[in-house]
Amino acid sequence: MIGSNGLCEAASPASSKPALAMPPGEKAALFYHRLDDVFDPLADLLKDSIRQEEMCKLLFRSPPSLLREKLRARGLDLDSHPSIEAIPLEKTIQGNCSRSNFKELMQSFVQKAKGMGYAGTRLIINIPEELNTHSPGEGAWLELDDERDELGVTMVCLYDMTSLSPGFLLRSLASYPNIIMDGVLCRNFYHIPRRAKPLEESYRDLFEHLDNIKEELDIREKERRERSMLIDMNRELQEEIVHRRMVEFALLRAENNLRTMLDAMPEMVFMIDRELRVTIGNHTFVKYLKDMGPGTSYEGRSVFELFPDLPNGAGKLFNEVFHFAQQSIIEGYLNGKFGPLAVETRLVPVMMGDEVDSIVVIVLPKGATVQDAESWRNIDALKNDVLDPAGPAAGSMDSYPIPIVVTDQDGAIHQVNMALCYELGCTKQEVLAMGRTTGFLEFQMGEGKPRRINADGRISIPSIIIGKGGSRNEAICYLAFIGKGKDARVITTINIKR
């Protein structure tokens, strides 16, 4: 609705976020990555200027039509408020970013506002790229800031972090006592108060006096070098502190964005480390813990402590994902508030270099039942036969009635059983001569991820087996991994659909 001051006010309940208001005569900065992020706080600043009966000059780099359209969508019609003057930046400074130009701009602006009866003045500037070469800490610019204080101009500067240099941004950040972040005027903890005059000037008289004392020349030179070194070290230290705080600030923003994104997902999402301890979870995960009773505090707690009903093979499954870095999908059941729920659990390995650092677990509701894994019944004997051909399990593969092929992780064939030879209509030597499984087996990956059919770590892939005469039959391949490094092998059991 329209307020008494002509501003459009939302009809919804008031937000808990305080209104953006600038005290008269103060200065603040707003740093942004995307131009669209600027228009909400810009509209609030202009509305605050109207409320405080200030005359406002807006120097912006966007086309006037786009600026008016964006502000109108946020309840502010510039054409209805003569106190706001929106001017393209290049027309105002005409390519001249000097101190004298800005000083003349402020003086004429304040004089005009007083003559028209306004209570104050406000200047909002979208800092141009030409200022990259100027330092906010230079003496001329410090004098300009004193001039602004004397005139009582309220100033807000907008900094585009994608076009301005990092060094200029760091120096500018350190020069503002207040910054606008997420639409709120905040104290700037990175602000470094300026000295009344540079430290070098404080020692000028002392240096001149020492120059006149010949016998103390060596002492003076040594002191000067040490002093200069300390000044440089102090400046570098201050810049390093500001840089680190900026990094901390960016990391905090990134973590907050990650948590916001996770909390927006309706699925249960959490992350576990190599010790199988939960490190982060979203609102759905916390709500599940609250409903099931183990408490909402989860950080550092074992996944088995939070999910006591996990099957015995779950630990083996997690360790296999850490070992083989294989993204997988589990179909099974999860105890819910109103009974067992059919769910699909996705395990996504997070790589740190060449190793899996953690696993993201995504739990989705699923109506289908868990697939049967009859082909997996004798897998331990098959593994022992491959690892120790002369051991107690010798001959298990050839006696197995289901086709089996043993390959390395690149698909090169190392062993086959007689059931596979019979199915293909080839001798064992002919199958081995094919070199790779691509000669008779096509994996139908679907969405590109092998599916684990239960929590025992079993992997299934829909496939097509091709006979010697070109016949094609649908099959489900069950995969098991054994060995490490060059000795790593994959045992594939082929369950053909008849």
pLDDT digits (tens, 9 = 90+) for 401-457: 889 999 987 889 999 998 899 888 888 898 899 998 888 888 876 544 555 555 455
Tokens representing 420 are 């596979």
Looking at residue 453, what is its pLDDT? 52
> What is the enclosing helix (H) or strand (E) of 67?
helix 64-72
Q: Is the pLDDT of residue 290 over 80?
A: yes
Question: Distances in Å between the alpha carbon of 473 and those of 345, 444, 470?
Answer: 29, 12, 10
Nearest to 123 by CA among 151, 90, 81: 151
Tell me if residue 95 falls in helix, strand or coil: coil
Distant-in-sequence, close-in-space partners of 485: CB < 8 Å, separation ≥ 6: none
Beta strands 184-187 and 459-466 are unpaired
Mean pLDDT, to the nearest integer, of 192-210?
Answer: 54
Q: Is the pLDDT of residue 357 over 80?
A: yes
Q: Is the pLDDT of residue 327 over 90?
A: no
The model's pLDDT over 142-187, given as tens digits with 9 standing for 90+, comes to 777 788 888 899 999 999 888 888 888 888 888 889 999 888 999 9
Q: Is the pLDDT of residue 118 over 90?
A: yes
Mean pLDDT, to the nearest integer, of 336-353?
Answer: 78
Nearest to 60 by CA among 76, 71, 47, 73: 71
The secondary structure of residue 287, as a DSSP letter, is: H
| Under 8 Å between Cβ of 263 and 283 | yes
Tokens representing 379 are 């897998």
Looking at residue 444, what is its pLDDT? 75
Distant-in-sequence, close-in-space partners of 352: CB < 8 Å, separation ≥ 6: none
Tell me if residue 370 falls in helix, strand or coil: coil
Between residues 328 and 431, which one has the greater pLDDT? 431
375-496 domain in CATH 3.30.450.20? yes
Tokens representing 221 are 């030179």
Dump the DSSP string for 2-35.
B-TTS-B--SSPPPSSPP----TT-EEEEEESSG
27-187 domain in CATH 3.90.170.10? no
Looking at residue 452, what is its pLDDT? 54
The secondary structure of residue 302, as a DSSP letter, is: B
Q: Is the pLDDT of residue 199 over 50?
A: no
The secondary structure of residue 374, as a DSSP letter, is: G
Cα Rg for the chain, rounded, in angstroms?
35
Q: How far apart are the first and last CA of the chain?
A: 70
268-365 domain in CATH 2.40.30.10? no
Band of the pLDDT at 229, cuts 50, 70, 90?
A: confident
Looking at residue 455, what is its pLDDT? 42
Rounded to two decimals, what is the model's pTM?
0.39
Q: Is the pLDDT of residue 49 over 80?
A: yes
Q: Tell me the three-class secondary structure of 216-271, residue by residue.
A: HHHHHHHHHHHHHHHHHHHHHHHHHHHHHHHHHHHHHHHHHHHHHHHHCCCCEEEE
| Under 8 Å between Cβ of 153 and 109 | yes
Distant-in-sequence, close-in-space partners of 183: CB < 8 Å, separation ≥ 6: 17, 20, 40, 41, 44
Tell me if residue 348 falls in helix, strand or coil: strand
| Under 8 Å between Cβ of 99 and 140 | yes
Q: Is the pLDDT of residue 207 over 60?
A: no
